[in-house]
Amino acid sequence: MPLDLFKVPEAQAIRISESALRGMTEAMFEKMGVPHDDAVLASDVLVAADLRGVDSHGVSNMLRNYIAAYQSGRYNPQPDWKIVRERASTATIDADRGIGIVVAPKAMELAIAKAKQTGIGVVTIRNGGHMGMAAYHAMLALEHDMIGMAMTAVGVQVLPTFGAEPRLGTNPIAVAVPANRQHSFVFDIASSMVAGNKITLAKRLGVSFPAGMVADAEGTPVMQAGPLPDNYKLIPFGGTRELGSHKGYGLAMVVEIMCTLLSGAIPNTLEPVNRPAAHYVAAYDIDAFTDATEFKDMMDRWLTHLEATPPAPGHDRVLTPGLEEVEAEAQRRELGIPLHSDVIDWFKSACQELEIPFRLR
């Protein structure tokens, strides 16, 4: 459920068509040496985030970072990724510094294939790059009547509870569950109060930050709303120990264990900065546990019941995870994807530098 705080206000938005955004993004990936099919897949992951209103993980926020990673040699455009350990329902992949938005969907395809045979498929990935919107990979399981899960551990940005120095990544976790007539349940959160990419959006928009979202330079949570401090640190969700930051801290550790340690990699904080990312994807075949049709019908009833909850004063309705994203996608497919003028300017200059035609439609 993306916060309005991190969305481009309509007055500042420049709408670009989905097809134009896909075309330029694919061309940029190909200019980096990414094979055509992989460029199409990578673009789909980014554009899917923009369509669903998850701008923090869309083209506007991530593409420039990925291009820079390719240009610096940190990402391998044509990785020789391989399975290094495997059993009937599990596998571990070495991504050979391949970007996560390409390798993770392929890992999820493997997890789905294993789930069809055994009921559950789990694949861990080490030595990779950023996986983009985690929900994308979890949602790949939906069309197979499966529950999908995706997690990723990357970077060192977040303080542990009571800590003054970052030790963990924002370490998000996503779960996607199919329904029948209702929208799919899609839950995708960072284990920090705010995802690092949302900070970039907030700076671009010049918004006032709510209390308790970040800590100051010394690690003390900033408990007054106002401009983002020049020197800030990310904190686990909950913000303070009294409000439950130990839960976000513990969940971040769980994600690190499942992604990094379980894949045979080393936690980022134990190694120098810019360590490769590690990921985890899983598929659960509903029919291995219960009748899939009955399960999805029950999801319909449950989601409908929750959304029918009487709203508290000052609120219009009760939401369930995935509803706002479905609504955003319908609107953005019709009206175009809203981008900030700074992003448009970057696109123009990047397209010129890479000799790619720039277009909004």
Reported as a single tens digit per residue, the pLDDT across 230-286 is 888 999 999 889 989 999 999 999 999 999 999 999 998 887 666 799 999 999 999
Residue 247 is encoded by which pair of tokens? 């839960």
Side-chain-side CA neighbours of 214 within 13 Å: the count stands at: 22
For 184-210, what is the mean pLDDT? 83
What is the helix (H) or strand (E) element at residue 82, kind and residue range? strand 82-86
- Return the bridge partners of 86, or none: 91
Per the document, the length of the chain is 361
Nearest to 281 by CA among 159, 356, 172, 191: 172
Residue 2 has pLDDT above 60, yes or no: no
- Cα distances (angstroms) measured from residue 46 to each of 58, 60, 93, 134, 194: 5, 9, 22, 11, 19
The most confident of 210-214, 292-296, 342-346, by mean pLDDT? 292-296
What's the whole-model pTM score? Answer: 0.94
Q: What is the pLDDT of residues 109-137, one digit of tens each?
A: 999 999 999 999 999 999 999 999 999 99
- 287-342, pLDDT tens digit by residue? 999 999 999 999 999 999 999 999 999 999 999 999 999 999 999 999 999 998 88
Q: Which two tokens stand for residue 126?
A: 């080490």
Tell me how far apart the alpha carbons of residues 253 and 23 are, in angstroms, rounded to a whole number: 38
CATH architecture of 1-78+336-361: Orthogonal Bundle (1.10)
